[in-house]
Amino acid sequence: MADLIHVRRTCRLCDSPDLVCSVKLAEVPIVSPNVGTENDPSGQRLTRIVAPLDNYLCQKCGLNQL
Ligand SMILES: [Zn+2]
């Protein structure tokens, strides 16, 4: 399976690599009936794939982005 999550290392507006983490947030699970779900031994559904939500500030153009 192809990677579901890609973390950019450059600004999505100006393509500068000069990004700093401006807000660090907890990862969140991707909730979809089609992605990364399995049942644990008791039959409960598990969501095993999480996505990062950290915000990054571009030092060149000022864009704040996920
Ligand atoms: Zn930028």
- Predicted confidence (pLDDT) at residue 46 exceeds the cutoff of 70: no
7-30 pLDDT, tens digit per residue, is 899 999 999 999 999 999 999 887
Q: Are 59 and 18 in contact (CB under 8 A)?
A: yes
- Predicted confidence (pLDDT) at residue 62 exceeds the cutoff of 90: yes
CA of 65 to the centre of ligand 1 (A): 9
CA of 55 to the centre of ligand 1 (A): 13
Q: Are 25 and 55 in contact (CB under 8 A)?
A: yes
Percent of the chain with pLDDT over 90: 47
Neighbours of ion ligand 1 (CB under 5 A): 11, 13-14, 16, 58, 60-61, 63
Q: Are 57 and 11 in contact (CB under 8 A)?
A: no
